[in-house]
Amino acid sequence: MGRDVSQGAYSREDRVRYRQKVRRCLDVFALMLDDFGFDADRPMTGLEIELNLIDSTAEPAMRNEEILAHIADPLFQTELGQFNLELNALPRLIEGTGFADYAHDLRGSLARADERAAKSDAKILLVGILPTLTERHLIAENLSTNERYRALNDQIVGARGEDIELDINGVERLRTHTDSIAPEAACTSLQFHLQVAPDSFADYWNASQAIAAVQVAVGANSPYLYGRQLWAETRIALFEQATDTRPDELKAQGVRPRVWFGERWITSIFDLFEENVRYFPPLLPICEEEDPVEVLHAGGVPQLGELRLHNGTVYRWNRPVYDIMDGRPHLRVENRVLPAGPTVVDMLANAAFYFGLARALAEADRPIWSQLTFSSAEENFHAAARRGLDAVLHWPRLGDVPVTELVLDVLLPKAAAGLDGFGVAPAQRDRLLGVIEQRCRTGRNGATWQTEAVWAAERHRGLDREAALHHMVQRYAELQRSNEPVHTWPVD
């Protein structure tokens, strides 16, 4: 979905032609999986971080276009809301000191961006949902001006045919309606990319699905929306609801949502692309000039533009990616379950935990997905989003187990072994996984720090909820710049 869109209205003929083209791309993709040379010799990794812009009072700053012009760095792009940016880290290997290189690059890029944002009286905040957002901020007028976001909004709202309902029942409850997808802009995430070979893709995707709940529980950082304390990772529920194209009748018929955990373990990446084509009507039916069959027969590398665009409008929490780099095609798992923040070191700890654990489980002699039902993995995912570090998950041979116990006793050693498999330097491995360990021992991640800080501001400072949230965000912004992991942050 990272492409520009110049059209906003599509004819019936556009949709028919696009559907035919997508299916042609799918057929070519199947042929490529059989005998094409995909790049998988040394698996690269990648990170994307979605950012919030705030002003001096901790309110969202609707200035992304102006700030992008100041930053003048192609690694930064617009995102859905005018108070959002996205940073795409340069892909790299994580062997040796790869994580230290990520840290150096990310801290440098963010510091330069923050310095340039200051010219517009703004600063950057790494958080899953900006706690000071209100309904007056998340309106269609505050979508970024890039035409692709307007087109996407029109297509999702048009497909639904009525306002989008938000109903999130957590510690407190939020029930409201919206006439646009603007609330989705509140969801700012941290996304990991892991390049894999075609014959091992299913193992890595299945492993990623199995551990998604654990990732969310340990990394939760989105407890507030519209002034209410909801889930530990409210971003999960909000994203699922804010982009739902189904009215109640289609939900009752079992029509699948576009934000989708999935419904089964897979045996090939083809399963996921085929499901996307079979189950989901096109949102942006834009056709390319390329004939992928002709390109393949001529010995070239097909772009498969229509298939990739369609894939980008189905929001799996672990998305399959086909891409081309330096003329060679490759496949990636795009892990999309985590929120941004709180600090660079926290995000890299989350990355080390994911990359290491995914590898260990994908290469295990007895696959976790042969022992855990898919429905249990999905139930775990939503339980973790609700409860964070207090979640109890179902795990093979252990039954129902507190997530902190599961991580400390079972999963951290596996993640360490997986990082060893990547050749990560032991000092890097131990430092980053140590952050995950300490979150579990202290019971503090971004979500718990936020709620404790708001509670302290309300009880000890006598602030109302709105003032407490603004006070907390300003304190969060100060502590974020220290790059000390969130489990060490004081609660004032």
**Segments making up each domain of the chain, as ranges:** 37-45+135-261+317-488
pTM confidence score = 0.96
Query: Going by CATH, does the domain composed of 37-45+135-261+317-488 fall within 3.30.590?
Result: yes
* Alpha helices in 128-232, H assignment, sequence order: 147-160, 201-219
CB 339 within 8 A of CB 177: no
**Torsions phi, psi for 188 (to 5 deg):** -110, 120
Which of 440, 458, 462 lies closest to 450 in space, CA to CA? Answer: 458
Q: What is the mean pLDDT of the chain?
A: 95
Do residues 114 and 123 touch, judged by C-beta distance below 8 A? Answer: yes
Whether 131 and 469 have beta carbons less than 8 Å apart is answered as yes
On whether the CB atoms of residues 17 and 291 are closer than 8 A, the answer is no
Residue 381 structure tokens: 């995912």
The pLDDT of residue 419 is 98
Backbone angles phi, psi at 315, to 5 degrees: -100, 70
Lowest mean pLDDT among 56-60, 200-204, 242-246, 388-392: 242-246
- Average pLDDT for 238-266: 93
Closest CA relative to residue 475, chosen from 84, 52, 53, 58: 58
Average pLDDT over residues 410-430: 98
pLDDT of residue 8: 54
pLDDT tens digits, one per residue of 164-187: 999 999 999 999 999 999 999 999
pLDDT digits 0-9 by tens, 332-364: 999 999 999 999 999 999 999 999 999 999 999
Cα-to-chain-centroid distance, residue 184? 12
Give residue 43's pLDDT: 86
**Structure-block tokens of residue 82:** 């005018």
The mean per-residue pLDDT over the stretch 91-96 comes to 96
Residue 429: CB atoms within 10 A of its CB come to: 21
The 10s digit of each residue's pLDDT in 192-224 is 999 999 999 999 999 999 999 999 999 999 999
* Cβ atoms within 10 Å, residue 399: 9
* Structure tokens, 134: 């209100």
What is the distance between the alpha carbons of residues 27 and 236, in angstroms, rounded to a whole number? Answer: 33
Model confidence at 280: pLDDT above 70: yes
For every residue of 326-354, DSSP letters joined together read: TTEEEEEEEEEEEEP-S-HHHHHHHHHHH
Q: List the end-to-end C-alpha distance of the chain, in Å, as a whole number.
A: 41
pLDDT band at residue 12 under the 50/70/90 scheme = confident
Q: What are the pLDDT digits (tens) for 437-472?
A: 999 999 999 999 999 999 999 999 999 999 999 999
Rounded to 5 degrees, what angle do the CA atoms 182, 122, 152 make?
Answer: 20
CB 215 within 8 A of CB 407: no
What the block records as the tokens of 472 is: 């907390």
In this prediction, residue 10 carries a pLDDT of: 76
Confidence of residue 15 (pLDDT cuts 50, 70, 90): confident
The answer to whether residues 58 and 477 touch, using CB atoms and an 8 Å cutoff, is yes
**H runs (alpha helix) in 363-444:** 374-387, 403-406, 412-422, 426-442
Alpha carbon distance 170, 62 (integer Å): 29
Residue 459 CB partners (closer than 8 Å, separation 6+):
none
Buried b (16+ CB within 10 A) or exposed e, 165-195: ebebebeeebeeebebbbbbbbbbbbbbbbb
Q: How far apart are CA 280 and CA 272, in angstroms?
A: 12
The pLDDT score that the predictor gives to residue 2 is 45
Model confidence at 155, pLDDT cuts 50, 70, 90, reads confident
- Give residue 5's pLDDT: 47
d(CA 223, CA 229): 6
- Residue among 475, 481, 467 at smallest CA distance from 450: 475
